[in-house]
Amino acid sequence: MDLLNRYERQVYSQNGEDGIIEEIFSRIGTTNRYCVEFGVGDGSECLIKNLVTQHGWSGLAMEGDLNSCNKMSADYAAYPQVIIKNELITRENIAGLFEKNGVQKEFDLLSIDIDGNDYWVWQALSAYTPRLVVIEYNAAFPPPQKMVIVYQPDFKWGGNTYYGASLSSLAILGTSLGYALVGTDSKGVNAFFVRRDLLLQSGFPELTPEQAYHPPRYGSVAGGHPPQSGPYLEI
């Protein structure tokens, strides 16, 4: 078990991400207790819910499905500090959406989980410097495999292994954006990147993808999703 995984605790997250996030911020501190998550579903099982409902954070939540968005808006009526928007996220529109909704250049948590173009969207946010980035990785491609799906603005995930990016590819992107990989959750879903200037303060070592990787433990086919191939880049 990696050092990070000792802190796994599920409040509203899909796995143990809530506890990991709490521990990281207890070490690196916060600037504005502001969080952004897209691909948030109906907001019932996501990474910002614990921060908003239990710790008083504010933030921006974006979701492409209108019904899910409406449900979240109703459920979060008591938390007006959260802006909830129905948006289909692309690498072309994401920076503009941040600007339109008043996201500051530096904030605390960015969570990316759109089951597809995650890599490309993070790359498009190079002007923003959240303290912690949590992003879904594709555990069907273990290190040192590099895999990023070819960008398609209208990509729709088919419930299989063709989506997103491998941990190795995300680690390279993270390094280029000024982030250090500190671990993944034990189910093999999300990777945690701390901004490099906060790494020493975090007390967590930077890990290689090989050290941080957890295999898929969330699906019905060899622990993961049904296999499906498609065009991808080795970057």
| Structural domains of the chain in order of their starting residue, each with its CATH number | 3-233 (3.40.50.150)
**What mean pLDDT comes out for the span 4-33?**
97
pLDDT tens track for 83-117: 999 999 999 999 999 999 999 999 999 999 999 99
Q: DSSP letters along 176-220, please?
A: HHTEEEEEE-TTS-EEEEEEGGGHHHHTPPP--HHHH-----SSS
Asked if pLDDT for residue 187 goes beyond 80, the answer is: yes
Can you tell me whether residue 136 is helix, strand or coil?
strand
Per-residue pLDDT, 116: 96
Cα–chain center distance at 66 = 21
Indicate the pLDDT class of residue 3, thresholds 50, 70 and 90: confident
Give the C-alpha separation, 77 to 43, whole Å: 12
**What mean pLDDT comes out for the span 169-176?**
98
Give the C-alpha separation, 36 to 57, whole Å: 10
Residue 121 phi/psi, 5-degree rounding, is -70, -40
pLDDT tens track for 53-93: 999 999 999 999 999 999 999 999 999 999 999 999 999 99
Per-residue pLDDT, 5: 97
Tokens 């993070």 appear where?
A: 122
Mean pLDDT across the chain, nearest whole number?
97
Report the relative pairing of strands 82-86 and 58-63 from DSSP bridges.
parallel
Asked if pLDDT for residue 1 goes beyond 70, the answer is: no
Task: Choose between 3 and 37: higher pLDDT.
Answer: 37
Nearest to 176 by CA among 96, 235, 99, 232: 235
**What mean pLDDT comes out for the span 108-136?**
98
Can you tell me whether residue 61 is helix, strand or coil?
strand
Per-residue pLDDT, 212: 98
Per-residue pLDDT, 103: 98
Cα dihedral 38→41→42→45 (10° resolution): -100
**What mean pLDDT comes out for the span 184-213?**
98
Asked if pLDDT for residue 2 goes beyond 80, the answer is: no
**What mean pLDDT comes out for the span 20-46?**
97
Tokens 């594709």 appear where?
A: 138
